[in-house]
Amino acid sequence: MLAQSCFPGVVPDYGIWLMPKVDIWSRLTPQSQAAVEKSRELYAAFKAQSADALTVAREGYNHERAYWNSFKVELPSVEDMAIDTPTGKLPLRLYRAQADKALPVLVYVHGGGYILGNLDTHDRICRLLAVKSGWAVLAVDYALSPEKQFPVQPDQVFAVLQHVAANGSGMGLDSSRIAIGGDSAGAHLSLAATLDARIAGAPRVCAQLLYYGGFGLKDSASMRLYGWADLDGLDEKDTTTYRDHYIADPADRDHPRANLLKSDMAGLPPTFIGAVAYDPLRDDSVVLAEFMKERGVAHRLVLYEGVLHGFMHYSAMEPKAMQAIEDGAKFLRELPVG
C-alpha cells in the first residue's frame, strides 16, 4: 500500500488541522520501497500479547528489527557486559573485528525515539561498523523512556565515555582514541555526551558519527514537508509522543542538554553527519553542520537521497544503507592518529 498524502482540513474526531505533506513514495529507490513493504509485512504478522500500547510498540519494533538483524555479520569477538552507573546497571555489548590488539573504540548509541530499541535491534549496524572501520564498537543499552526520563539517558551515555577512558585498556581498547556515534535519538545522545565531555574537560572524544539525529529544531522546512506514520513513524503525533515520553517537564525542552543547538560547537571533534533528504529531521543536521562550519569544526555532511529515516537497518536490501555505514567507517579509518 502506498502512502496517502495528508491534505489540510479539519478532522471531525479531533478538531485539529493536519499539516500537508509531500508524497515521497515515488522518490524512494526500488530497494527502499521493497524494504518498506517487507517492514509492513513483518508488522502485519506480529501478534501482540499485551494490552499496553507502549509494550506492544516495543514488541512490534523488536519483532520487525529481528528480521533485519537475522542477516548476520560474523566477528571473532562479541561480548556482553555491564557497568555500574548512578542510575543502576547499564548493559553494553563490545564488538571486535580483531581480537589480538588494542583497538580504538566507537561508543554506539542506538535510536528509537528514546522509547524503543536495545542491543539486539541495532546488532547488525554495530557489527558492520566494526568490520568496516577496524575499530571496536561498544553498544550502549541506555534506559528507555518513559520509565526513565531526561536527564537519565545523557547521564548514562556520558558515564560510558568516562568508564571507557578509565578502564579501556583492561577491555582491550585504546582509551586514547574514543569516538562516539549513533542514529536518530542515539545521535542526539552522542552529541550531548560530547558536549558534556567538553564542559567537564574529559574524556577526550576524537570523533563523532551522527546519523539522522534531532538536535533541537522546533520547526523547519523538512518538518513541514516530511514525516509519515506509515513510512518512517515520524508524523507530528509520533514525534510529540517521543518528546513527551523523554522530557516530562516542558521547561526542560530548552535545557542545553536537550536542545543541543543552543550550545556553541567550538572545539568539538571531527564529525561525520549523515542526513536523509526526505526526513523531517533533515534540517537539524543541516543546521548543525552550519554551526560547525562557523566555528571551524572539521565535519562532513552527507545527504542520502531516495531513502527514509532509519534506513541504516535495511543494509541487507538497500545499498545506500551499506554505503552510509561504509561512509562513517571510512571517516573513522581516515582520522589522524594522535
3-state secondary structure (DSSP) of residue 271: strand
**Could you list the pLDDT tens digit for every one of the 338 residues in the chain?**
233 333 233 333 333 345 578 999 999 999 999 999 999 999 999 999 999 999 999 999 999 999 999 999 999 999 999 999 998 899 999 999 998 889 999 999 999 999 999 999 999 999 999 999 999 999 999 999 999 999 999 999 999 999 999 999 999 999 999 999 999 999 999 999 999 999 999 999 999 999 999 999 999 999 999 999 989 999 999 999 999 999 999 999 999 999 999 999 999 999 999 999 999 999 999 999 999 999 999 999 999 999 999 999 999 999 999 999 999 999 999 999 87
Which residues are CB-neighbours of 59 under 8 A, at least 6 positions away? Answer: 46, 48, 49, 50
Domain locations along the chain: 47-333
In this prediction the pTM is: 0.94
Query: Residue 173's beta-bridge partner residues?
Result: 103
SS3 content of the chain, % helix, strand, coil (to 5): 40, 20, 40
Enzyme catalytic residues: 184, 279, 309
- CATH class of the domain defined by 47-333: alpha beta
